[in-house]
Structure 1
Amino acid sequence: MGASGETQGLSHARGRHSAGHRTARPNVSLGGFLADQSGATSIEYSVIAVLISIGAIGALMLIGPQVLAMFNDAGGAF
């Protein structure tokens, strides 16, 4: 029941470390970083969204003058 020779960070009943405890950074190698694909899906969706936006802007630039003329004709009737 005596104190052990080795001291460790105190934790409370739920197993969390006390406020003064510092956690070590995980050991991540370059190969592990390059093999990690956790963000690949969001990047792919972003690229798809950009391509759709570029296509929509291009289509609006092509049909824009015709739409403007149609609205001007409709507005001129009043």
Structure 2
Amino acid sequence: MTRIREIVVDDVTYRWSVTPIDPSWVRVRAWRGREQILAERLRFDDPWLNYGPLLTGDPELIEQNFRLEPVRPRQVADLIRRAVRNS
């Protein structure tokens, strides 16, 4: 189940969600009211699904080949600002 969250960006309230697409990608969506203003695919290698390679792999190669930082509200705010600016 996808959790819908609220975020205020530049005094406007938006709702947003992150949905897994596959083990290496997620989709970030944001809405202003009922209007979807953002649907972007971002790289995220779920550590739980990549546990073996992450546990046994070369740390330098892991850093180069895996995107382990989850989507955070600050990143969502930046994506929303860009989407609003480009609309």
Both structures adopt the same fold (TM-score exceeding 0.5): no
Which of 1 and 2 has higher RCO (CA within 8 Å, sep 6+)?
2
The structure carrying a bigger strand percent of its residues is 2
User: Which structure has the greater CA radius of gyration?
Assistant: 1
Structure 2 length normalisation: TM-score? Answer: 0.22
TM-score when normalising by structure 1 = 0.24
